[in-house]
Each structure stands twice: as structure tokens, then as C-alpha cells.
Structure 1
Amino acid sequence: MTLQIGSVLEGTVVNITNFGAFVELSGKTGLVHISEISDTYVKDIRQHLKEKDKVKVKVIGIDNDGKISLSIRQANPQKKTNKPVEIDWDYERKKVTALSFEERLAKFLKDSEEKFQDIKKNQESKRSGGYARR
């Protein structure tokens, strides 16, 4: 059987490295890069795969040297909804403009006072922290 780009086959994991897993397909071995293991971030491949696991892979590339690039992620597509997510971009602006001028001014003064107190405490702790001035 000849391997073709785009074909989905079942193979066996024969070796696992830090950067990917080698999968044997009908006598030939290809590499599933760590980025092609799952749709989520993969820190340790060994949490997703073990040697001798049977996996479904998609052939995503074959270079001139005969190296085969495989993908588990693309062989098992997740069901995606076609419904777009609606985002209310003006939500924060609406929330702020719902307050009157006096309420916004009071909120600003309160936030400013809190920040000023934090800065003052930080400077005092540096002065009394055992550092001698010369």
C-alpha cells in the first residue's frame, strides 16, 4: 500500500521522544510532532500516548527523503459548531457610561486614593527595610 498525503490510517506507536511520537504504518515509520498530538497544549507526550498504542493518524506530508509527517489531531477532527460567537464589544463602555459623572468621579477618586496608599506603603517599607542611606 502506498502512502498518500491526506489519507487516514491506523498505526502503532513504536517510540516516544520529547518532540513527538514515531508511528509505524504498514512497514514504514512516520513522526507525529508534539504539536499534532492534540487540539490542546501538550506538555508531556507520555500523558497522551504510550508505546504500542493503536492510533488513527493522517498523513500530512512526505518529503523527498521519504520522511513521513503524521497528525493525530487532524485525523480526529472535533465537532465544531458553525454558529459564530457573538461578542458585545461595547460591554465595558456601556457599563462605564451607565454611571453618572459624579459616580465616575467618585470611583476615580477612590481608585486613585487606593493606589496612592499602596505606593506610600511600598516606599515606607523600602526605607525601613534595613537599608542604610549614605
Structure 2
Amino acid sequence: MPAQVGAILDGTVSGITNFGAFIDLGEGKTGLVHISEVADDYVKNIHDYLKTQQKVKVKVLSIEDNGKISLSIKQAALPKKKTVKPPASVEWSNVGEKQPTMSFEDKLNRFLKDSEEKMSSIKTKAKDGRRGNGYSGKKLRD
């Protein structure tokens, strides 16, 4: 398969440097995987992740006009499965027993009540001349 941006290709590690690894893509083409594109983790020593002649899957990130090919190993990996969490509207009280929390309408009513209380508190403070910045307007004595 020819190297095209976005393509996932099989390659062989042909050289390793302190800034990345050169990957032989076949057909006389070689690309570079920057050290930041080797793994999802921070890679301090690339030799901990790759060895010369190791077979790898890479994703083509870019191909410059001068023929340089930028590759990524971490983007070529299959996405990890996400852990499914219970919905926020469900509380767990006992093992194997779930109890729903408040309905949407009850949550909305609680929000409106809390909001009105906060707004009335803010209005009261504004009437009293309090700004909440800790400065009372009095001069400090030396």
C-alpha cells in the first residue's frame, strides 16, 4: 500500500535515535516516528519501547514536499475500550440493588430554588454596600 496521509501501514524499525525511530515502509520508503508518537506514556528512553528490526504498525501523519514521512505508532494502535460507568442518575446503596435518584423535574426545581436564594443573597449584599473584596473603605493607621 502506498504511503498516504492517514494510512496505517506495516513497517520495520530500521534505526533508533534519541529523538525517534526510523521505520522502513518498503518500496524504498522510510519514515520517522518522533519519540512523542511512540506511546501514550512519557517515553524517556525509546529503547524501552522499540528494538531494531521490530515489526510495527504506523499511521502516516504527513508527507512533506521533500519526501519526508512523519509517522505515529500510538495513533496506529486500536482505541482502548472504555470502562462503562453507571449513569449519574443511579445511586448504589446495596450490592446488586440500585435506586434511582430524583427525577429531572425535582432536580430542576431544586436548582431554581437554590439559584433564587443565591440571587437574593447577592442583591441583599449589594444593597448593604458590601462588595466582598475585604476592603471596607477605611484608611489604615500607621
Superposition TM-score tier, normalisation by shorter sequence: 0.5 to 0.7
**Map of 1:101 onto structure 2:** none
**Map of 1:70 onto structure 2:** 71
**Map of 2:59 onto structure 1:** 58
* Mapping of residues 1-134 of structure 1, within 5 Å: 1-26=1-26, 27-81=28-82
Separation in structure 1 between the aligned mates of residue 20 and residue 6 of structure 2, nearest angstrom: 20
User: Which amino acid in structure 2 is aligned with residue 5 of structure 1?
Assistant: V
Length, aligned pairs only: 87
Deviation of 1:83 (Å): 5.5
TM-score scaled by length of structure 2: 0.56
TM-score scaled by length of structure 1: 0.59
Give deviations 1:64-86, integer Å, cap 9, x for gaps.
Answer: 110000000000033142868x9
User: Which amino acid in structure 2 is aligned with residue 30 of structure 1?
Assistant: G
Structure number with higher strand proportion? 2
- The alignment-based identity, stated in percent, is 59
**Map of 1:124 onto structure 2:** none
User: Which amino acid in structure 1 is aligned with residue 63 of structure 2?
Assistant: I
SS for the counterpart of 1:46 is: helix
User: Which amino acid in structure 1 is aligned with residue 31 of structure 2?
Assistant: G
Separation in structure 1 between the aligned mates of residue 12 and residue 6 of structure 2, nearest angstrom: 18
Consecutive unaligned residues of structure 1, counting only runs of 5 or more, are: 87-134
Separation in structure 2 between the aligned mates of residue 51 and residue 14 of structure 1, nearest angstrom: 6
Deviation of 1:3 (Å): 1.1
Consecutive unaligned residues of structure 2, counting only runs of 5 or more, are: 88-142
Separation in structure 2 between the aligned mates of residue 77 and residue 35 of structure 1, nearest angstrom: 17
Cα RMSD after superposing both structures: 2.1
